[in-house]
Each structure stands twice: as structure tokens, then as C-alpha cells.
A and B are shown apart, each in its own frame.
Chain A
Amino acid sequence: MKKFIKIYLEKPELAGLVFLIILTIVFQVQSDGIFLNSRNLQGILGILPEMGLVAIGVTLLMISGEFDLSVGSVFALTPMVMAVLLADGTPFVFAFGAGLLAAMAVGFVNGMLTVRFNIPSFITTLGMLFVARSITVVISGGFPPALPPGAMPKWLFTSFVGPGGMFRMSFLWFVLVAVLMTFLMSRTNFGNWVRATGGFLPAAKSMGIPTARVKVASFMICSVLAGFAGTIQVMRLGAPLPSIGEGMELQAVAAAVIGGTALTGGIGTILGGIIGAVLIRVIDNGLVLVQFDANWFKMALGGLTILAVIVNAWLRRKAKSIKVETDK
């Protein structure tokens, strides 16, 4: 037990993983084995990347000590920018790039406002939640623009691939991003700075880390990933609705927290955020499978989030009380 708790300090996603395994077993048993069959897995994996990409970005940002409540709106804005340009006859590459640039710009503004005026990002991004959503609706002209057929290379993003069409292409993109971001956070100096900035800002500053730039960069990464995720959803659905992504910001925070990310910054892993996102998809899907009223989804998600925070806080306290061994 001591050992487990000690490991927990380095791997805060452990509790989330345990939750995931337990729930998987419960759903598998309750659904008479349907839960883990290939058709159902295909369904889960098909939409996981959308939530997952958002969760990765939000997790990274939370490790740097900041929040982003505008990801749900960016999730809608990015594909809307792309769609409006596509409807106008712009080639896909440019339209897609413009969408991501818009996302990046939102992240930049979020970061600059937060850092320059020293306001809690909770507030700046709450404002941006409304601003970005509003822009989305305005540029859509009130109804989704009609996309020319074949304007989007669905084969590159949403078509089914792999054995038995197990995954969508988006899943491969998701895995690629997940690996890159994990690498960024754990192996690069930038990752070290993000963690230091969120872990203890005065120390990071006094060691000469450009903490303001680190935060702005984190906001931008978070925004771009949310925008990319939204773009994938629009390609899957085929139409750019201005209302997509509503409520996603809080689900993403829930995912990060369930995965062991601390609200105070400095603690957490990308893998944890992904585990959290998978858990959310699993609950959503599992409740339907076991023929539970789907309206319980939010109840389950809320309960799990609170439980995760309690368990994580408890484990952290316990782990801290076990002193490190020294030779002398």
C-alpha cells in the first residue's frame, strides 16, 4: 500500500485508471458482454478523439496553472471559420488553416489578457466563451453554411480504417497528438517549464523561466487542440452547427480532474486527461448499454468528478506524509 501511494505521486493518473477498469468490468458484466464487443468499441473510439483532444489541451493548460472555459466555443468557431471559407470556394488547406489560426488567436488573446492584466483565467476565458460563441453564430449568418460536396477530405479525418474498420482516421490523429503532447510534457524543457510555472510560480520566475510566454503558449496549444477537435466533429457530422461543443469546457475540466490533474496547477499528466476523457465516453456509452436512463449521465459524471477529487486529495496527503528516505 505504501508503495502504491508512493507511485501515485509520480503517476497521478493512477486513480482514474482504476476507476476506468472498474467501470469497464461493471458495464461488461451488466451488458452481457456487449460493452467490449467490436461494434460498441468502434462506436466509443469513433467519437473519443473529439472529447479526447479537448481534454489533452485543457490538461496541459491546467498543469501550467490556468483554466480555459472557452474551449467549447472554440470547438464551434474553428470549423465555422473553415466552413464559411469553404462555402466561399476557398481550397480546403487554406480554410482549414484559417480555422486553426482563428483558434490560435483566441488562445493568444486568452493568454495575453490573463498574463498582462493579471486576472484569473477563469474570468478571461469565461468572457471568451461568450465572445467566441457569438462570433461563431454571427459568421454563420444564423444557419450553417451549405458545404460544397467533397469540400472536406473526410478520408483523411473521419473515414473508418484498420481491421474491420475499427477506428476512424480521427483516432489516429488523436493518438499522434497524444504521443506528441506526452513527449512535449515529459521530455522537453518546455514541458519542464510548464510544470514549474504551474507548480510554483515564484520559483519558476526566480529561475528565469519566461513564465508569461509559457502560459500564453499553453493557452494557444489548448485552443488549437479544441479547434482541431471541433473540426473533426464537423467532418463526422457533415454540417457545421454553431451550437456544437456547448458544455464541453466543463466536461474537459472533469476529464482532467478525474485523470489526476490538480486544480492548483503543477500536477497532472496528459495520459491522465485522456483516461478522464475515455471514462466520460465509457460512462455515456455504458449507461445506454445497460439500459439505464441516459439522463443519469450527468449525475454519474458529476459524482465521479467529486469522488476523483476527494480520492486524489487524500492520496496526495497520504503520499506527502511518507517521508523520503535518506542515507543519513
Chain B
Amino acid sequence: MWVYLFDGTFIGLLTAVFERYDRKQHPVRIAPQQRYAPGLMDEPVAVVSDDTKARRVWQGLGKRLNTDWMSRLYAAFLGEQPEGFQHLFDLACYIINHGGDVIANYGNPHVLYVAQLHRKVHREKHRMEAFVRFQQLADGIFFALVEPDFNVLPLISRHFKNRYADQRWTIYDRRRDYGIHYDGSGVSEVTIDFIQHTGKHRGVLPADLLAEQEVLYQTLWQGYFKNATIPSRKNTTLHIRHVPRRYWKHLTEKAFLPLAL
């Protein structure tokens, strides 16, 4: 079987779709180069990411699908699932061969998989829009650390840019070690050397990096959170379903305050 090895990027994946039609090869398995383990019957083909080829595929899909579905495809890609790449590839081919209407066919395994993966990624995007907690730094920048399950920073950047248009902010993904920074006009990608700035405490900024009133507002927020609870209705199961423990580390209302360290 043909195995297309791509570089793991979205451009690479779309390029692979282009190559499949250009070379008229079928069926094709697709794998990210870094994670490929050769099989006995494989015929590996290296796919070189190419903006022009990728754009042609994307535009071709765009003619057949509405914008909702286009963003679903991209979001599903950011889900970073190895089998997701194959489904996306197969789905793109399915659409190219049969036209955009078949996207409503939830009986098709690729449509269903991509729709479901998109749902998960979308939920994580929504969670990040909710769970980001900015701390104001001494230089005025509002700074947040996150560790999302999927690579959702590209999906949340517009939301934060629109909402916090008048403040400078950075949202940093500790797991993927990059962040997005808004400087008052545009958003760009950044990387930061953390150990140098924060010492060994993962996810906790030392108090001396923070703006003067930061600790006050964190204290106020924690007090608010505590007093908003109605003890006789306490329902820990429900609470944890909504706010899974893995997110607590970066939630101000759940975390220890810098002063307490």
C-alpha cells in the first residue's frame, strides 16, 4: 500500500491530498514522518509540504463545503490524533469525489469521526476561553498559562483579541511550549524560557513578577468563589465533571496564591 509521509502540518496534510490525485494513487495510508514505523508491504512516499498545492486543495474543498465545515476540518486537525489524520485525508477525498452534499452523511465513518473529533476539540477550545486566568505582570501585560488537551491556541486567538482589544496579553501553552501574544494591535506566536524566569514552580508565577494589585484581586476572586457556593447543594461529582482536576493547577480560584508559597 502507498504510505504518504507528511511533516505533521496542516499544509502537509493538504499537500498529501493533492499528491494522491496528481499521482492517481489509491488507496493511500497517511502518516506523520516523525511517528512512522515502516511495514512490510508499505511503499513509502515522502510528501513535501507545498503552499500552492495545499491552497488548491483547500479552495477545492471550500467550493464544496460551507465555512462551518471548513473550520471543523481545521479544528479536527488540531486534535492531533494519529488516526484523525487518516480520517481527514479520506474525508477530503470523499468530498472531492462525491461533492459537498455527502458531508451530511453521518452514516459514513469519516464524516462521523471528523464530526466527533471536532466536537472534542471544540469543547476544549470553549474550555480554554473559559479557563484562561490572566495574572497582571509588573509591566502591565496580562499573562496566562494553559495546558490544553488539544492544540487550541490557534482557535482561541481571535476570541481573546476581540475581547481584550485594549490590553496586552499572552496565553502560553506549557505542554506545547509556545504562546500567543497580543501587543495591542496584532497577535503573534512567542516562546519563553520559563526556568530562567520562574524557577522550578510549574505554573506558578513568583509574586515579585506580578503587578501591585494582582494578589488583591486574586484574593477577592477566591473569596467570591467560596461565597458563591451553597453548602446544602454541594455536589462534588457535578463540580468535577464541569471542572476536571487537570485544569485546577491554572485556575486562580483553585490554586494557592503566590503569597502562600
A and B form one complex: no
Residues of B within 8 A of A (CB): none
Residues of A within 8 A of B (CB): none
